[in-house]
Amino acid sequence: MTIITRFAPSPTGHLHVGNIRAALHNWMWAQKNGGQFLLRLDDTDAERSREEYADSIRADLAWLGLHPDAETRQSDRFALYEARFAALRDAGRIYPAYETAQELDLRRKVLLGRGLPPVYDRAALLLTAEDVARLEGEGRRPHWRFKLDHDAPIAWTDLIRGDQHFDPKLLSDPVIRREDGSWLYMLPSAIDDIDMGVTHVVRGEDHVSNTAVQLQMFAAMGAPPPAFAHEALLTGTEGKLSKRLGSLGVSAFREQGIEPAAIIALLARLGTSDPVEPFADVAPLVATFDFARFGRAPARFDEAELAALNQKIIHALPYAAVTGRLPEGMDEAGWNAIRPNLDIIAQAADWWGIVKGAIDTPQFDSDDRAFLTQAADALDALPFDEGVWRALTGALKEATGRKGKALFHPLRLALTSRDHGPEMAALLPLIGRDAALSRLRAAAA
């Protein structure tokens, strides 16, 4: 059996971190099993769907390296939905209902007030032909419900949550189509999963009750259901669902300088028993991906953890992986010297400006100025090679008796105008003899 997964966002907005996690896990499961990962744009909401959002979704997936094997749109599949709808209606599994939203809301409140579950009472099934004629004469148009089989208990083994059981009598017959003929999520999604041959559906635990209903839809259409994996939802660092998580998307991560590899490394294992590690290559993450490793507890998304992971990944990136993103003139030696001090790659330009550009000369007291004069004279007499920093500091330590911070700090500050930064042993050869002498003498003046 070919494993087929799907990511089915609605193009009514940009992807957020929860969407990205769902897309990633569907992609990883397909990758691990040599299967297919499909993108389905659930654009039945014509009023809110926008092509700009569809383009954004595609671009975000591409930036993350999650390339679908195929793409489809629900708006191109209405004929298929109509055919399935007609067959289910003829089989008595779909029926029209005429209650208004206000009437349904009142019924729910009455039931809740009596301590009863707010389950739809199927009053529409009791309407006579005269009742229907009267309601339609009043201008009412029906919405349509899927009729659950109350004699068929719902059960499945979830790949994450284990055995699941639902009593269909405690579920309302779901509305599948609005009065205006537009589709709601439940039935088109099930139809598409059948038609596309989807074998595994990976989504959030907020869809568990939807799955219970959709299992009866699969059965009513004579199709085996896919396997389901319902993941615990993401929470923020404060331990509860965070509105900020709903706004964190690829554009926000890119603005922050977060690498795609860092996002993938964190989200791949968030909620599992495996440690989060700074993998720049997704292959080890795919190889160890297993739904059995996921827990039921909420998965905590920590932006500080993402930033730290991003830093570790950048520190391990080879020059070949970043060459097109570095400032002009920065070679492999420059990258190797500077990358241990970077939080994001964009900072490389700042450090390269310090190496090759002009710097603001710091102010020193008289003792340090005298010391920097000695440093310039000592440097002028030394061979300027890869070992020049060690030779310079060794000579100055012997000549002045300085050591530790008193030795190293004035030199770093004079040469870079910074209190800290990359190893000077790697940085000084990049600065060059003439620039280094000029900076030392300017600081000593």
Residues comprising the binding site?
243
CA distance 46 to 182: 9
How many helices and strands in the chain, by DSSP H and E? Answer: 19, 12
Q: Kind and range of the H or E element at 427?
A: helix 424-431
Question: Pick from 51, 39, 49, 61: which is nearest to 10 by CA?
Answer: 49
What burial class does residue 348 get, using C-beta atoms within 10 Å of its C-beta: 0-12 exposed, 13-18 middle, 19+ buried?
A: buried
Chain-centroid distance of CA 75 in Å reads: 26
Enter the tokens of residue 109. 């409140």
The label of the residue with tokens 């007609």 reads 86
Q: Which residue bears the tokens 């989200």?
A: 267
Backbone angles phi, psi at 291, to 5 degrees: -65, -25
Q: Read out DSSP for 206-270?
A: GGHHHHHHHHHHHHHTT-PPPEEEEEPPEE-TTSS--GGGGT--HHHHHHHT--HHHHHHHHHHT
d(CA 408, CA 404): 6
Binding residues for ATP: 243
Radius of gyration of the chain (CA): 32
C-alpha–C-alpha distance, residues 337 and 90, integer Å: 72
Question: What secondary structure does DSSP assign to 38-67, as a single string?
Answer: EEEE----TTT--HHHHHHHHHHHHHHT--
For 272, other C-beta atoms within 10 Å of its C-beta total 19
For β-strands 143-146 and 94-97, DSSP reports them as antiparallel
Closest CA to 88 of 139, 43, 41, 148: 148
User: Could you give the CA distance from residue 99 to residue 103 in angstroms, rounded to a whole number?
Assistant: 6
